[in-house]
Amino acid sequence: MKISLISEEGIRLEPLPGPMTIEAATEDQVYSAFHMLGSGLAFCTYSVLASWASHAKLHSDDIVIEVQWTFVEDPHRIGKIDMKIDWPSLPPQRQAAAQRVADMCALHASLKHPPELSTTVTTANAAATA
């Protein structure tokens, strides 16, 4: 599996043999938390597609997934995520089914239906005051 940083706002996932690698175009490009989010979404989507393809007797080794995002303000956050799945060997009559399967990725669903989020900050003195 190979994840390539294609910009500050995008990644590409390719199912290459061997260990998972993360590559950047330049050595000063940082694998940010946003890249991690995009990578997780791409990997989750690829996993459900590859599993479905195996059961459907389809090849999945040519799937390439690109995830790109844009930011919005107030507060600063990702405002839009675009995911493109390029699957050259997918028979055209299977395209709608593949779309439904891609939507079954748990991270995809989590982003469409945001989970409740809580944050707790503790300090060394928290135990003494409790």
Per-residue DSSP letters for 17-76? SSS-EEEESSTT----HHHHHHHHHHHHHHHHHHHHHHHTT---TT-EEEEEEEEETTTT
pLDDT digits (tens, 9 = 90+) for 79-100: 999 999 999 999 999 999 999 9
State the average pLDDT for the chain. Answer: 94
Please give the average per-residue pLDDT across 116-127, as a whole number: 87
Separation of CA 37 from chain center: 6
Query: Would you state the pLDDT for residue 45?
Result: 97
Query: Would you state the pLDDT for residue 126?
Result: 62
Q: Structure pTM?
A: 0.90
Strand, coil or helix: 78? strand
Query: Would you state the pLDDT for residue 124?
Result: 87
Query: Would you state the pLDDT for residue 94?
Result: 97
DSSP 114: P
Q: How far apart are CA 20 and CA 77, in angstroms?
A: 28
Query: Would you state the pLDDT for residue 64?
Result: 98
pLDDT higher than 60, residue 41: yes
pLDDT band (50, 70, 90) for residue 130: low
Please give the average per-residue pLDDT across 93-112, as a whole number: 95
pLDDT band (50, 70, 90) for residue 25: confident
Q: Residues 24, 12: contact at Cβ < 8 Å? A: no
Q: What percent of the chain has pLDDT over 90?
A: 92
Q: How far apart are CA 4 and CA 13, in angstroms?
A: 7
Who's near 71: CB < 8 A, 6+ residues apart?
9, 77, 78, 79
Burial class (CB in 10 A: 0-12, 13-18, 19+), 128: exposed
Query: Would you state the pLDDT for residue 127?
Result: 58
User: How is domain 2-118 classified at the architecture level of CATH?
Assistant: 2-Layer Sandwich (3.30)
